[in-house]
Chain A
Amino acid sequence: MRLIKNMTHALNDTIINIGQIFSRVKMIVNAELYVKDLPGHLVGSLEPISMVDGNIKGVVHDREQIVNNRISLNVTFEVEDSTRLKELEDIWKARDIIISSIDSVYKTYPMEYMLIGNLTASYIENLMDEAAKKVRVAAIDMRYSSKDHHDNRTAMISVKMREQEDIEVLDSFLRKACKEGNMTYIRGL
């Protein structure tokens, strides 16, 4: 029987708590705004993004969707951190721009790892706890095979990293652990 354990939620909670530490990681934000349907107001809603050193990725200006004489504006942009995002929200509010919704996401870098040997689920979980102290993990999913006739088991670890460089760091960490634990180590491309 395969034991499948998903640690995504637990780790996400951790990431939220320590989110401020990673302030140099840029956030990608999607905001749904309602701006007055008057000349200059569209530009007036986008300009504050530059004021907080943000970088606009895409804008959809929907004139079909009018609510209380305001038109819908969906904008996706990059901003340095949650402090700058808060500044932006304050500017929008001061300019009478309605923020209907705002969601932020981080760009992540996926990688797969596989460890084969005489291992247990708790060993792998402890190993990944150690790894999380060295690298910025956004999400992690672990799957295990049943034991084979040599008492070996396979752990497959799917990780989403916050930074591309951390892929190499995690690779080195797991490679070393496998060498020490006499396990076969396989990673994704």
Chain B
Amino acid sequence: MKVFIAGFGTVGQGVTEVIASREEFFNKRYGQSIKIVGVMDSSTYVTDSGGLDPLKLVSVKKETGKVGKEKYTDALKILDSVDYDTLIEVSPTDYKTGGQGLKNIIHALETKKDVITTNKGPLAIKFGELIALAKKNKCKLKFEGTVAGAMPIINLCHDNLIGENIQSIRGILNGTCNYILSKMDNGQPFDQALKEAQQLGYAETDPSGDVEGYDSACKVVILANSVFDRNVTLSDVSITGITGITEEAVSLAKSRDMVIRLIGEVGEEKLEVAPRLVPKGHPLAVSGTLNAAQIRSDLAGPITISGRGAGRMETASAVLSDLISVMDDRKE
């Protein structure tokens, strides 16, 4: 299978390394390997219809800061310049417009390519349209990596729980906020905890997407649309971030054996991101950058999953599961 990788930051490089490290697995399972025929970062690209060396791609990016020598201005032209089967769209997300990622996904689907993405923005803004386009052109659109990184929440709902009536999903969907709130549990003030999260690379220089709750809200939208078959966008979500949480509030919660966590909740009617009081010992009272979610269904009752919500290999793991799913479908 030939893939094109759009976006070559942390996640793109992680995906490339995973494709290299799982070559034997793909050969054994499908009798073929995955060929990377094109890669583009924010300004440069490299293509080779015979396949690019994955590890060389990563080392060039590390050494030069660019993946290719050729610069581009029109990403869609680059996508059209080489034949590929699946677009792996892992460029930085744009919550407001969907950005170039949305254009790349639409273009790939319009040209009848399968798409795997970790890019939340396009799905939070145009989920219904993208699914309809994929359906119309008989393409796969897979997006496990958009929600909670390595935690297989979407595929769990779509595959293992397919016969269940899922009533609600609620959970910690943003590791940065959870890190900050966990630090506040130990007495650190919000500003200091945020600064520490930035120094460790958990939070962006502009942390508003995380701490104002927009990142979690995008994931809530994706879960609502994909698991509950709703047709909602970011503007439908009631969003409260964690910037209003004070040390006094955390301390008062602690006195009642509780912690404050930013919880995203989706149900047939519910669509919310807000700080909630969680009893200590509850499965959602996780600490650090962990994500956790509780799926409530009619037969199985509550199922809790927890895992790393972000990171190079964690997100690459989600892309790998989508790649396998696409290849399994093609095998049939």
Residues of A bordering B, CB below 8 Å: 112, 114, 116, 143, 145-146, 148, 152-154, 156, 158, 184-189
Cα distance A189–B282 when bound, in Å? 10
Q: Which residues of A contact B316 (CB under 8 A)?
A: none
Q: Does B277 contact A (CB under 8 A)?
A: yes
Q: Which of B245, B276, B277, B282 contacts A184 (CB 8 A)?
A: B245
The contact of B276 among A143, A145, A146, A187, by CB within 8 Å, is A187
CB-CB nearest in chain B for A184: B244
| A186 in contact with B248 given A112-B277, A114-B253, A156-B253 (CB within 8 Å) | no
Which residues of B, 240-294, contact A by the 8 Å Cβ criterion? 240, 244-249, 251-253, 255-256, 258, 260, 263, 274-279, 282, 284
Also in contact, A116 and B276, with CB within 8 A (given A145-B251, A186-B260, A189-B282): no
Q: Which residues of A contact B66 (CB under 8 A)?
A: none
Q: Are B251 and A186 in contact (CB under 8 A)?
A: no
| A186 and B246 contact, Cβ closer than 8 Å, known pairs A112-B256, A143-B255, A145-B251 | no
Residues of A near B246 (CB, < 8 A) are 116, 145, 148, 152, 154
5 pairs across A/B with beta carbons < 8 Å?
Answer: A116-B245, A116-B249, A185-B274, A187-B276, A189-B263
Indicate whether B183 reaches chain A with its CB closer than 8 angstroms: no
Q: Say yes or no: is B170 at the interface (Cβ < 8 Å to chain A).
A: yes
CB distance B245 to A185 under 8 Å? Answer: no
Q: Once the chains bind, are A114 and B248 in contact (CB under 8 Å)?
A: no
Asked if residues A186 and B170 are in contact (CB atoms below 8 Å), the reply is no
Contact A145 B252 (CB under 8 A): yes
On whether the beta carbons of A154 and B249 are closer than 8 Å, the reply is: yes
On whether the beta carbons of A148 and B248 are closer than 8 Å, the reply is yes
| Min CB–CB distance B281 → chain A (angstroms) | 12
Q: Which residues of A contact B277 (CB under 8 A)?
A: 112, 114, 186-189
CB distance from B262 to the nearest CB of A (A): 10
What residues of A have a CB within 8 angstroms of the CB of B252 in the complex? 114, 143, 145, 154, 156
CB distance from A189 to the nearest CB of B (A): 6
Is A186 touching B256 in the complex (CB atoms < 8 A)?
Answer: no
Determine whether the beta carbon of B256 is less than 8 Å from that of A184: no
Which residues on B sit within 8 Å (CB–CB) of A187?
274, 276-277
The residue that A114 contacts in the complex, of B170, B247, B249, B263, with Cβ under 8 A, is B249
Contacts of A116 in B (CB 8 A): 244-246, 248-249
**CA–CA, A50 to B174, complex, Å?**
53
Q: How many angstroms from the CA of A158 to the CA of B256 in the assembled complex? A: 10
Residues of B within 8 A of A145 (CB): 246, 248-249, 251-252
B255 proximity list for chain A (CB < 8 A): 143
Chain A residues within an 8 Å CB radius of B284: 189
- With a CB–CB cut-off of 8 A, which chain B residues contact A158? 256
Query: Closest chain B residue to A146 by CB distance?
Result: B248
Contact with A along B149-190 (1 / 0, CB 8 A): 000000000000000000000100000000000000000000
Known contacts A112-B258, A146-B248, A189-B278: does B240 contact A184 (CB below 8 Å)?
A: yes
Residues of chain A with a CB closer than 8 A to B249's CB: 114, 116, 145, 154, 184, 186
Assembly CA distance A156 to B257 (angstroms)? 12
Beyond A145-B246, A152-B248, 17 extra complex contacts between A and B, CB < 8 Å? A112-B277, A114-B252, A114-B277, A116-B244, A116-B248, A143-B252, A143-B256, A145-B248, A148-B247, A148-B248, A152-B246, A184-B240, A186-B245, A186-B274, A188-B258, A189-B277, A189-B282
Task: Give the residues from 191 to 235 in chain B that come closer than 8 angstroms, CB to CB, to chain A.
Answer: none
Chain A residues positioned under 8 Å from B247 (CB to CB): 148
Interface centre among B251, B252, B253, B279 (most CB of A within 10 A): B252
